[in-house]
């Protein structure tokens, strides 16, 4: 009687805990979901998926390129009481005239965007963003910029700014 009921209750408790720990994965945003928000003449320049806010779910960042605009967008995977969805976590305007598509990676929870812009004097910029766990928003945590001549007409300059500490390192 009692011992068997107790053992059964314990087994149910353990299996319930195991099920709660194996929460279903939220699939990354589809290209179709992203395209649904595009205006005429806009296209997806690049996209990357990865955990950007440390919650274990796959978030998505993408760059939309228009005729005279380029915008970086981020959406976080989120969970409601009964469903999973993607929630906007911010956007940032980028230089509208890059020398090529931006490179995007997610490494250790940080979204890294490398962008090359300019003409014979070019600027290579690397932006680092980290998502907030408590709210759907991205924070710029670092910016590296290199200014250089593509024709070797002048010296280059580099700047690295850690937004979190305020440290700036500049070299020529």
Percent pLDDT > 70 in the chain is 91
Q: What is the rounded CA–CA span in Å between residue 123 and residue 129?
A: 19
Q: Which helix (H) or strand (E) holds 33?
A: helix 31-35
User: Cα 12 vs. chain centroid, distance in angstroms?
Assistant: 39
> pLDDT tens across 81-96, in order?
888 899 999 999 999 9
The pTM (predicted TM-score) of the whole model is 0.79
Measured CA distances, 66 to 35, 71, 90, 123 (Å): 13, 9, 18, 21
């Amino acid at each position: 009687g009692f011992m068997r009921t107790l053992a059964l209750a314990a087994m149910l408790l353990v299996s319930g805990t195991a099920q709660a720990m194996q929460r279903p994965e939220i699939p990354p945003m589809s290209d179709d979901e992203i395209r649904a928000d595009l205006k005429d003449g806009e296209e997806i320049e690049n996209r990357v998926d990865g955990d950007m806010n440390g919650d274990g779910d796959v978030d998505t960042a993408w760059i939309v390129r228009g005729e005279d605009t380029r915008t970086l967008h981020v959406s976080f995977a989120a969970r409601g009481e009964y469903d999973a969805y993607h929630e906007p976590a911010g956007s940032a305007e980028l230089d509208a005239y890059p020398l090529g598509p931006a490179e995007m990676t997610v490494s250790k929870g940080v979204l890294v965007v490398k962008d090359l812009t300019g003409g014979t004097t070019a600027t290579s910029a690397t932006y680092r963003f980290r998502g907030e766990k408590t709210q759907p928003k991205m924070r710029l945590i670092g910016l590296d910029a290199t200014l250089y001549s593509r024709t070797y007409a002048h010296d280059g300059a580099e700047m690295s700014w850690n937004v979190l500490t305020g440290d700036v390192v500049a070299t020529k």
